[in-house]
Structure formats: structure tokens, C-alpha cells
Structure 1
Amino acid sequence: MKVQDDIMKCNYTLKENNTFYEATQLFQNDEVEVIPIIDENEILVGAITKNDIIRNFIKGTKPDVFVKNLSLSKKSIINKNSATQDYIASKESYLAVKNDQGKAVGIFSMNSIYKQQLANALEKITDLKQRLKCIDECDEAKLNCTELDAIIESSYDGIYITDGNANTLKINRSYESITGLKRKDMLNRNMYDLQKEGYISKSSTLMVLKNKKSNTIEQEFRTGKKVLVSSNPIFDKHGNITMVVTNVRDITKLYELEEELAKTMELTEKYYSEIEAMRIQYLDLTNIIAKDKSMLNLLEIAKRVANVDTTVLILGETGVGKEEIAKFIYKNSTRRDNHFIKINCGAIPQNLIESELFGYVKGAFTGANKEGKIGLFELADGGTVFLDEIGELPLDIQVKLLNVLQEGEVERVGSIKRIKIDVRVLAATNRDLESMSKEKTFRSDLYYRLNVVPLIVPPLRERREDIVPLIQHFLSELNEKYNFEKTFTIEAINTFYNYNWPGNVRELKNIVERVIVMSSSNKIFESDLPMKNFSSYNEKNICNDDICNLKEAVGKIEANLISRSFENAGNVRDAAKMLGIDASTFVRKRKRYLEKGML
């Protein structure tokens, strides 16, 4: 028999640059015993087991240590074409299996082999019973003693046979190995005497002879091994017990694993208690979903700066949740009882942005309100102003914003009078303001004034422990909103976890909502997810032949990018930024492809 005949499917894999903390998260599933480790080319390079997790916990391994640097079992990989018999004596309960190309194809479990051996042994014992019965019933059917000895000696479990009077007839080699007792001291001796002399603490054989029915007990021998003892009677045609066959199974490893698992659970519970304490402390006043350590560390810093009026610049890719961090700072600040005004600097028309921010006086310009208008900064007096997309702010407005930050004053359009205000400014952008300041497209003095405390929100692919909680949060919201009872399978969750998420949390939320709304059943499978199609788009959809019209191919790619960016961003302006084009160009191209039926 080969290893490939006993391969089990593995739902999880880890890469060499995954962290120890990420590995522990996957082992929370009680069914997970071992996880293959692959390199950047998806070649199997090792495996990590629950025992490895335990050893590293005890060793004090830090959560951010890479999997490739962990202390792991040496013998952890086997080839699917290897003979099963070669690994019977292996000390590893689980091994990762690779194919001839080095790719992970599953898990090889020694436990399943042991179970098969036990089944074979029981089958042999049943056969032995029939043969022994035939001795009494038919003199012509004599059992070959050499064959009988071979059957008993080949058993993985210990076998102990007595006659109907408890006299010892046969003991195999496995029984000696498991119990530490010697055949020479026990053969031809009565079980009553052996129990009385302390060779065994209690006899399952004697219980069978007393009750005349099968019996199973647990015992511990002086070797320190714990065993499961099962004794079965053999009756003659008159109903008298002629033999008792006892099977002894070593369960010491099961107890050791149980103890190790208990220790692991204790350590895990302690670790999660600390994480939960951090979450409760930092997520007290917000709806932020955060479980990843990098995100919790960011919130810890944000909590500290929330108590002072320092200007904060929040940086990060589109869709990472910069606005949520701004709200977190506001809700944990001393200004939380006053206004929080969000201003999207890229959404206000350029000719109106000054009057919107700073207001205007009566008769300031044609079409102005006769009574004048208060600006958003004045409206936020005593509170907080959140300037989203600060990189889109025109240069002439940047000068006035700098004055607000330095002097705490605003000047309405058409007025020469300055108005004192007390506001805290939070700003956010996905653009590189430092490079923009060098290129003279963003004022360097404003950049340095904003960049007092920079907070960089990590992209979702760098805080993967937030993925599953976010999925659960969005799923719960949508189930409640639409009165659904939908769930994701483990395979679907694993696909979510391993996806790169270029659109970050916004993309995750959009995809979760899409598959929940579009799914026809309450259980959402991996096949229902759209992510698997992204990487193969160019291969499957651009051209049907090896060579096609260049203009047509470019159009298909452009239509695909426009569709995906709009889906991830949720609006024209952000989608256009993701593609690096103007919003008007984006709208024009999208309209053209919609009319052609390509979107």
C-alpha cells in the first residue's frame, strides 16, 4: 500500500512568511491537526502540527516570528508514492504529502493506519476464535500452530489468552512491549495468582470469567503506559467458557495529547484574553472591527493622540478605513460632544471649495446668498474637522488652510475680517504627499504642518486576522437587513483569507454583499465567489485564438479594469483615482462600454 491511498484533504496552507500568530489562528479549528507550509512558488517545504504550536508557545516564540523560522518537526514531508509500511514506526502522528512536482496534495495520518491495524488485528482474533472453536467441534480441522503463532505475534496490539480457568496460555511480543511484563514470568500461571502478586492491578479476564460477558477497562502499568484492555470470552457448545482472549491497546499517546491540548487551550485562552482586553479598551466607542495585532497597535497609538489636540495625518490605500480611524480619534477625544464634520476635498467643485470651507459675506459674488453663509470650519467651532482626500485640495486653498492650522483663524470670501475658531483638524489621503511636495503640487509647509502625527492604516492583506471578523460582521448585518440565514463554508472563508484584496475593506464588503444577494442557497460555497476568476481573465476572455485584433483586446482589458475598479470603489471619483485617470474620462469610457454591452 502506498501513502497516496490514505491521503486526507487539507483545507489550509501557510506560507513561509506567514507569522506564528497567523498559524495559531488556523489551529483554533478542532479538526486541524497539521498544516502544510509552502514557499512563494507553492512548493511544499514543511509542515506545522499542533505539537509544534505547543512547543513554540512553551519556548516563548513571539507572535510576529515567520513560520519558516519556527522550531518544527524534522520529519514532516513524505512523497505520495512512498510505501505506507515505511512510516509505520514514525513518531509523527501527521505528515504533509507532496507529489512528484513538490506540490502539497494532502495529509498522511498515522492514526488511520493504527486504526486499520487494529481492525486487522480484531479480524485475525475473530478468525482465531473460529479456528479455536473448530478444535472442539471437528478433530479434522486442526489449526496449524505455526500459523497461529505468526498471527498473534504480528498483531500491533498486545494479546493475552487464558483458558476457562484463568490459566495463561499465550502472550505476544506487543503485550510485553506495552506492559513491561515478561512472558516467562506469566506463561502457564493462573491469573488469580498474578493479580494477587501485583503483576497487574486488576484483571479484565477474571471479570469476564465472573460475569460471562465481554469487558473493557483501563489500566496503567509500571512502565507508565496507560492501556485499554478488552477481554472477550469463547464458549463451547454447552455455554461454558473455554478461553478468554484479551486485546491490549496502548492509549498513552492519547492521554499525552489530551494534556498537551489542555495546556495549549490554556495558553490560547490567556493569549486571547489579552487580545480581547485590548479590543475592549480601544474599540469602546466605535464600530471598528479589529482583531489583527497590527491594527490593534494602530488603535493604541490613535487612542493616545485622541486625548490631545494634535493634528493627525491618516495615510493608507483606498478602502482601508481611514475615515473609521478619524471617527475613532474623535469619539475618544475631549471634543466628542461637539461637531464632527467630514469634508471630502475631492468631491467639492474647485470654484466652490473656498466658500464651502470658509464661508462668504453678503454680496461676495454673483449668485451668493444675500445674507452670506457660514463656512464648515466655523460650523465646526469647538469640534473636529476631518479633511478626507486632502491631496486633492487646490494650492490656493492650501494657503488658507495653513492659516487655520497656524493661527486658528478663518477669513470669509469677500471679507477682510478674521474670525477666531477652535477646531481640531484630522486629514487623510491615499496619495504620497511628500513626493507631491517635492513636485510642487502640494505645499511643503502645509505637508509638514499636517504631518505632526502620521498614522498609516495597513492594507487588508497585511492584517489578515481582520478578514474573518469583517466577513462575519458584514454577513450578520446583511442577514439582519434582508432577513437571510446565510453562511459561508470553510473553503469559502479560506479563499477570502488567501485573497490579496487590492480594494481592501471596501472590496471585501462589496463582494460579501454581492455573493449573499446573488446566492440561491443559504450556504455559500467557494464556487460562488468571484475572486477565482480575476487572475485568469486575460487568458480566458481577451482572445479566443492565439492572435486577435489589438484594439479589441485592449478594449476588453480596459472594460474589465473599469468594471472592477467601480465595483471596488463604489463611486466614480475613487474608481478613477484607482486607475489614475480623470473622473470625466472614466465616466465617458464606462458609458461607451455599457452601450457596447461589455460591462
Structure 2
Amino acid sequence: MKVMDVMIKGNFTLKEDNTFYDAARLFSNNKIQVIPIIDEKKFLINVISKNDIIENIVQGTSPNILLKFLSLDKENIISEDLRIDDYMNNYINAKESYKAVKNAEGKFVGVFSVRDMFKHEFASEVEKISELKKRLESGNNSGGVLLNCTELDAVIESSFDGIYVTDGKANTLKINKSYEYITGLKRKDMMNRNMYELQKEGFISRSSTLMVVENKKSNTIEQEFSTGKKVLVSSNPIFDEKNNLTMVVTNVRDITELYELEEQIAKNMKLTEKYYSEISAMRSEYLNLLDIIAVDKTMIDLLEVAKRVAKVETTVLILGETGTGKEVVAKFIHKNSLREDKNFIRINCGAIPHNLIESELFGYVKGAFTGANNQGKIGLFEVADGGTIFLDEIGELPLDIQVKLLNVLEEGEVVRVGSLKSIKIDVRVLAATNRNLEKMTREKSFRADLYYRLSVVPLTVPPLRERREDIVPLVQDFLAKLNMKYNFEKTFTVEALNALYNYDWPGNVRELKNIVERVVVMSSNNQILKSDLPIKNFQDLLEKNNDHDEIGNLKHEVEKVEAKLIMNAFNNAGNVRDAAKLIGINSSTFFRKRKMYLEKKML
């Protein structure tokens, strides 16, 4: 018997360009366990299960991510020509008890479940035994050598499943050793006894045989015996030529391991649901104070650390490339601190002229310098007293101001320009830079003592290319605000979103926001196409590298382009599997080629 004999027809399918949200909604609205993913020609290319949905929710997968970018288990696809016996040998080790089925052409044809397989097999076993008995009674030998009673007994006794046979009045005629092993009951206690008595005396809790005797129809029930075995019991009637019930043959199969597998899956689902609830609560708790879009686990982990740091008075140094959102993280720390109701003062250290920065930070007294205000001026540190001061672009501070800033951090007081009197202040300092301060300390362009004083707790905001799950949610958030601001109804096509997802984003979130605003404002249609985007993807590297007139060795030139593609993909994805997916090759090929180019020192 093959899979095609017991599979059921599937009513639901998805395509690669459907979103994770589409899949989750389909599972939520229908009682299904797996959904096949097909291409335009209905070829089965992948399958998503209910467990995949839960795992991705726990990992914080964006609802808008396309199914083609999810890591799914292709082992949940089987062929309709697969023999049931071959599957039975391995099903306990399978991750899912439901599979999507493909035909020889690779097209989706149905869904296969372990339980349906068992029920079908039980019916088949009983049918064979019934046919065997009819042949014995009628003497029909068309199927081969006629079995005598001794041979029939041997067949029944050797069956892996338990077999229990009664006459038409439920008197026990035959019990095999497998039935004894599975149920823990003894043949000697049950032979020649009526099933009504055995049920009344508690040998079994309910009898499938008696159900058949009463309604004259096949019946299947689930039972658990004192041995701890859980079984599927299938009873079938046998009639004579006058349609009188002459025998009931019952097949008992041990499905304990299947139940244990299902229970383990159920426990895992409950556990993942618990984790999902905790993560959702944590995400809500982190993000309800600020307009932060954070879906990617990398960003969520950063916010978790920032939340813990916010509750203490430690100085925090926020690092990261330009445009990653360092100021947003600084505001997040302030809003989650005990100073949340006090001032948050941001100072861009790179935007203030060097000759004015001291007076801006620390203030000055009357007559401190030519052009000074007659009443003097309070400095920004004093304005921030009791609250938080955020020193953005701290790496741009002149060395002489760095000395005075160190004094403020160490002593908790400022001295205005032109004054000898110090003023006590209570300020929490957060600093940020996109520069390598450690390198600057070695080059003597940044004071080492100030660096160590600032970096008590360093936090690094990951670039957008390292938290790609945030890209589509950020796009949707920027788009919603722009649509509301300008009364637009614009949307991005799937191809445009894919292009945005795959782009390198050297300018990070700031660049993403600017590009979204540009295409929303400039596009003439409500649908924003991929061609509307002023960005280039990895495919453009090939054109760029071939845009020259030099003549060289073809193999070497191709290798240079391939090496560059592999290097960029790996740098962006951070791992072999995702990098291989970015450039459309399998992970083993990617690993082999990357190793080769590393050995050639081309990477």
C-alpha cells in the first residue's frame, strides 16, 4: 500500500509571495495542520506547518515577511508513491504527523496523516482476515494454496497486531499472543467467555465487539489498558450468505508511541505559546513608551538590555553606524528610567562650533567674553539638572572640552565660563557615536580616561542589514504616517518590498525613511513599483564589475565577480544558509565556494 491510497485531498494552498501573516490567518481560520506552498504551475516547492507558525512567532518574525524568506522543513513533503511500510519505519522520528504529498511531476496532490494511515491499515488487515475465513468456509482457492485451520492459526498468532475473534453472539473464539502483550490480559481468563461478562467484570472498559454486535457495522474506538498501552481498536462484522452475523474480528494496534509523540508536540506548542505570550508582553512593555518599530530578535534583545540599564544611573555609551537609531535608544533609556518626568536634553557635539561648545555645555557669567549676554547664560548641563543629557556624536568633542566633561562626570558639578564657582548638578549622561573611540584613544584624538568613564555600559545598535526583519515593518510604519499626513492611499508591491528587504542599507533606518518618503511623494500611481525605488540590489554588482573595457582571463574575471557576491552576501546575512539564499544557490555550494575564495585570498 502506498501514500496515494490513504491521503486526503488538501483544500488550502499558499504561494511563495504570500506573507507570514497570510499563512497564520489561514491556520487560525481553518482546522488544518500543514499548508503546501506551490508555484504558479502548482508545483509543490515547500510546506508550512502549524509548528512553523508558532516557532516563527516566538522568534519575532515579521508578519509581512514573505514565505520564500522563511526557513521551512522540506522533510514535510513526501511522494504519493512512497510505500506505507517504509514510512512506518521512520514516522516516530518525524517532526510532523502530517505531510504534504506530491506526485511524480512534483505537483501537490494531497495531505497525508499518520492517524488516517493507521485507520486504513486496520480496515485492510481485518478485510484480509475476513476474506481468508470466507475462503476457508467456501473452499475457494483462487487466491493460491488453501490454508488449513492450523495454518490460519499460525498466521493469526504471528500478527504484530492484537487479534480478538468472537462469534455472532460475542462469545470469545480466538485471541493471539500480541493481544495479550498489548493489553496485559491473559487468554486463559477470557477464552470461551462472553464479551458482555468480560466487560461487566472490568476486563475491558468498553467493547468495540459489542458495538458491532448491536449495530452490525464496523467500528473503531481508542482504549487504554492497565499496561499503560494506548491502542486503536477496530472491529468488523462477518456475515453468512443469509446476512446473519457469524463472527466479529477485532484488530488492536499499539499507538502508545504515536500518542507520546502527539503529547510532546502539544507540550511544545503550549511552551511556545507561553514564550510567545511572554515575548509579546515584553515587546509591548518595551515599545509602549516610544514609537519604536522592533520585530527582529536582535533589536528586541538590545531593548531588553537597555530596559535593565535604564533603571540604574550608569553612564551608557551607545555605538552604531550612522542612521541606526542611536537617539531613539537614548530616549528609550530615558523614558524607562526614574528620570522619565524630567528633562531630556540632546546635544549634537559635532554641530556646535568649537569656540562656542564650552559655553553651550556649561554656560557663562556676565562679561565672560566679547559678545556675551549681559546677564550671562545657563549651560545645557544645568538645564538638564535632574534629568538626562544625551551627548550625540561624542567623538567630535575637542580634547580641551573632553577634560572638562570628565570633571563633570567625576565630580557632578560644572563651572561656567568666566567663573571660579562650581555648581552642583544631578544629571545622567548618555553618549553616542558612530566613530571607533577605542581606535581614537590609541591615536590620542580621544582621551582614554573619558572613554572608559563613558563606556561603563556600551550598547551597540545593529545596522539595518543585520536586523532585516525590521525592514518591512518600518516601511509600513513610514508609509502609514505619510499616507495620513498627505491624505494618500499608496502601497508597495510585493516586488518593491522584496527589493527593500534585500537592499544593503548603508544609511540604515535614516536612509530607509528618506527613500520611502521620496518614492511616496514622487510616485504618480498609488502602487509603488520596484522600478520606482532609487536603490540597487546584489544583481547590479555583476553589471558594475563588468562595466569596463579591459580584456582579461574570463575565468578569473568571473571568479572576481562571484567572490564579491559571496563576500557581500555573507557580510549582510551573517551566516552561510541565509547568505546562500540571498544569491540563489544552496548552502553547501556557498560554503565550498567561500572556502575556495578564502584560500585564494580573494575574500
Note the alpha carbon deviations across 1:185-218, whole angstroms, 9 max, x for none.
7666543454456543332112221233333333
**Structural mapping, 1:129-528, within 5 Å:** 145-146=146-147, 157-168=161-172, 171=175, 174-181=178-185, 190-192=194-196, 194-195=198-199, 198-236=202-240, 238-257=242-261, 259-260=263-264, 264=268, 285-286=289-290, 289=294, 294-295=301-302, 298-299=305-306, 301-305=308-312, 308=313, 311-318=315-322, 321-348=325-352, 357=361, 376-377=380-381, 379-399=383-403, 401-402=405-406, 404-405=408-409, 408-409=413-414, 411=416, 420=423, 422=425, 423-451=427-455, 453-457=456-460, 459=462, 482=483, 506=509
CA contact (8 A) 2:323 2:511 kept: no
SS in 2 for 1:213: coil
**Structural mapping, 1:65-76, within 5 Å:** none
CA contact (8 A) 2:162 2:182 kept: yes
Q: Return the alpha-carbon distance in structure 1 between the equivalents of residues 345 and 2 of structure 2.
A: 68
> Against the structure 1 CA distance between its residues 317 and 454, is the aligned structure 2 distance closer, same or farther, given a 3 Å change threshold?
farther
**Structural mapping, 1:118-133, within 5 Å:** 118-123=119-124, 125-126=126-127
1:340, CA displacement in angstroms?
1.3
Note the alpha carbon deviations across 1:412-465, whole angstroms, 9 max, x for none.
6xx6787847344321123332331221111334334434x333236379998x
**Structural mapping, 1:564-575, within 5 Å:** none
Note the alpha carbon deviations across 1:524-555, whole angstroms, 9 max, x for none.
xxx99x9xx966664576339997689xx9xx
SS in 1 for 2:170: coil
> Against the structure 1 CA distance between its residues 337 and 543, is the aligned structure 2 distance closer, same or farther, given a 3 Å change threshold?
same
CA contact (8 A) 2:412 2:424 kept: no
Structure 1 stretch 385-394 or stretch 474-483: which is displaced more? 474-483
Q: Return the alpha-carbon distance in structure 2 between the equivalents of residues 438 and 132 of structure 1.
A: 93
Q: Return the alpha-carbon distance in structure 1 between the equivalents of residues 264 and 526 of structure 2.
A: 40
Q: Return the alpha-carbon distance in structure 2 between the equivalents of residues 139 and 227 of structure 1.
A: 34
> Against the structure 1 CA distance between its residues 507 and 381, is the aligned structure 2 distance closer, same or farther, given a 3 Å change threshold?
closer
> Against the structure 1 CA distance between its residues 176 and 112, is the aligned structure 2 distance closer, same or farther, given a 3 Å change threshold?
farther
CA contact (8 A) 1:118 1:157 kept: no
- Find the counterpart in structure 2 of residue 586 from structure 1: none
Q: Return the alpha-carbon distance in structure 1 between the equivalents of residues 335 and 437 of structure 2.
A: 27
> Against the structure 1 CA distance between its residues 541 and 129, is the aligned structure 2 distance closer, same or farther, given a 3 Å change threshold?
farther
CA contact (8 A) 2:302 2:459 kept: no
SS in 1 for 2:166: strand
Aligned residues: 458
User: Which of residues 543, 549, 552 in structure 1 aligns to 2:546?
Assistant: 543
Q: Return the alpha-carbon distance in structure 2 between the equivalents of residues 371 and 459 of structure 1.
A: 45
Q: Return the alpha-carbon distance in structure 2 between the equivalents of residues 386 and 460 of structure 1.
A: 21
Structure 2 residue identity aligned to 1:119: H
SS in 2 for 1:207: helix
1:159, CA displacement in angstroms?
4.1
1:391, CA displacement in angstroms?
0.9
SS in 2 for 1:447: helix
- Find the counterpart in structure 1 of residue 9 from structure 2: none
Structure 2 residue identity aligned to 1:243: M
Q: Return the alpha-carbon distance in structure 2 between the equivalents of residues 302 and 341 of structure 1.
A: 19
- Find the counterpart in structure 1 of residue 94 from structure 2: 94
Q: Return the alpha-carbon distance in structure 2 between the equivalents of residues 345 and 455 of structure 1.
A: 19
CA contact (8 A) 1:363 1:370 kept: no
1:2, CA displacement in angstroms?
12
Q: Return the alpha-carbon distance in structure 2 between the equivalents of residues 146 and 322 of structure 1.
A: 84
Q: Return the alpha-carbon distance in structure 1 between the equivalents of residues 548 and 218 of structure 2.
A: 72
SS in 1 for 2:310: helix
Q: Any unmatched runs of 5+ in structure 2?
A: 7-31, 35-50, 52-74, 97-111, 573-603
What TM-score comes out, normalization by structure 1 length? 0.54
Q: % of aligned pairs identical?
A: 51
Instruction: Please provide the CA RMSD for this pair.
Output: 6.5
> Against the structure 1 CA distance between its residues 151 and 135, is the aligned structure 2 distance closer, same or farther, given a 3 Å change threshold?
closer
Q: Any unmatched runs of 5+ in structure 1?
A: 7-29, 33-49, 51-75, 97-110, 569-599
CA contact (8 A) 1:350 1:394 kept: yes
CA contact (8 A) 2:168 2:247 kept: yes
Structure 2 residue identity aligned to 1:295: L
> Against the structure 1 CA distance between its residues 301 and 198, is the aligned structure 2 distance closer, same or farther, given a 3 Å change threshold?
closer
Structure 1 residue identity aligned to 2:94: Y
Q: Return the alpha-carbon distance in structure 1 between the equivalents of residues 162 and 446 of structure 2.
A: 81
CA contact (8 A) 1:312 1:427 kept: yes
